[in-house]
Amino acid sequence: MKALVRPRRLAPGARVAVVAPSGPVPEERLQAGLDILRGWDLEPVVAPHVLDRHGTFDYLAGTDADRAADLQSAWCDPSVDAVLCARGGYGVQRMAELLDWDALRAAGPKVFLGFSDITALHEAFATRLGLVTLHGPMAAGIDFIKNARAQEHLRATLFEPESVRTLTSSGQALVPGRARGVLLGGCLSLLAADLGTPHARPSARGGLLCLEDVNEETYRLDRYLTHLLRAGWLDGVTGILLGSWERCDPYERIRALFLDRLGGLGVPIAEEFGFGHCEGALTVPFGVPGELDAEAGTLTLDVPALA
């Protein structure tokens, strides 16, 4: 797996578009997030349909066509330096085929940020555009609004990425060892659901795989992992970083599942790396090469997240 193209870091005064490719966005949370971005001397631009809600399916932020149009327009606007997702939820997979990927590629590299359901776009941006993307707190997310650690790590990644080239785990090694590879991953359930689609990579071979999820029972996590194993998607993965498992079963039960399903891969596995649906979530650049030391609980990036 080769490293992807790194977009340029942001500078004060940069214009950042906020889009809602998935679920509906609470207006008060959006306004709080915009205030933080303005406090960083950024100029946020809210896409037209960010506050929409689908007339029939209220778990969607407006129609598929409108959500896709917002993302397309923001990315192809030459005055926009970054596209930030407002929140996750569900909906990206419904609109991914509505995007003009040739036009997105022609618009050139820029920063893209999101997590959770946005995992499907991380995969698509990697396979279709060959771009590094940021898996991190979203503009209208509670963690971004209220947690200083999440804010500061994201701010440093955007403006001073050389200052956050080492990420540290708060846990221990599930399987000890060192591994090198290109970072990829995201929400486990989305990676499993994306398998076989035109935008998903054929495997995680050569990659350091980051996994997290939220509000899932152990048997469902088992199903997702088993599906990836049976499909051969995990063949050749070099190492695994486990993030947060908020509102899932007690961690000791999930930990036993990870050993059962992933331990046989024979690669280093580090847990509690602090990304995903947790308080103070770290920002992880997908598409950047790095080294995992599972025993030390460190991930060291070969290069800064952004150029």
Q: Which residues contact 250 (CB under 8 A, 6 or more apart)?
A: none
pLDDT tens string 234-258: 999 999 999 999 999 999 999 999 9
Task: For residue 169, give the amino acid letter.
Answer: S
Can you say whether the dihedral through the CA atoms of 136, 153, 86, 127 is positive or negative? Answer: negative
Can you say whether the dihedral through the CA atoms of 49, 278, 133, 145 is positive or negative? Answer: positive
Residues of the chain with CATH 3.50.30.60: 166-301
pLDDT at 117: 98
Would you tell me which CATH number, out of the four given (3.40.50.300, 3.40.640.10, 3.30.565.10, 3.40.50.10740), belongs to the domain 15-163?
3.40.50.10740
pLDDT at 144: 96
Can you say whether the dihedral through the CA atoms of 228, 293, 302, 80 is positive or negative? Answer: positive
Secondary structure class of 258 (helix, strand, coil): helix
Catalytic residue ranges:
116, 212, 277
Across the chain, which distance is largest between two alpha carbons, in Å?
51
Q: What is the mean pLDDT of the chain?
A: 97
The confidence band for 73, taking pLDDT boundaries of 50, 70 and 90, is very high
pLDDT at 232: 98
Mean pLDDT of 203-230: 98
197 backbone dihedrals φ, ψ, rounded to 5°: -85, 165
Mean pLDDT of 73-89: 98
pLDDT at 7: 98
The confidence band for 118, taking pLDDT boundaries of 50, 70 and 90, is very high
Residues of the chain with CATH 3.40.50.10740: 15-163
Q: How many angstroms separate the CA atoms of 28 and 26, rounded? A: 6
The confidence band for 30, taking pLDDT boundaries of 50, 70 and 90, is very high
pLDDT tens string 58-68: 999 999 999 99
User: What is each CA distance from 175 to 148, 169, 187, 232, 295, in whole angstroms?
Assistant: 31, 14, 21, 21, 8
pLDDT at 75: 98
pLDDT at 251: 94
Q: How many angstroms separate the CA atoms of 78 and 197, rounded? A: 29
Mean pLDDT of 188-198: 97
Q: How many angstroms separate the CA atoms of 47 and 124, rounded? A: 21
Fold (topology level) of 166-301: Glucose Oxidase; domain 1 (3.50.30)
pLDDT at 67: 98
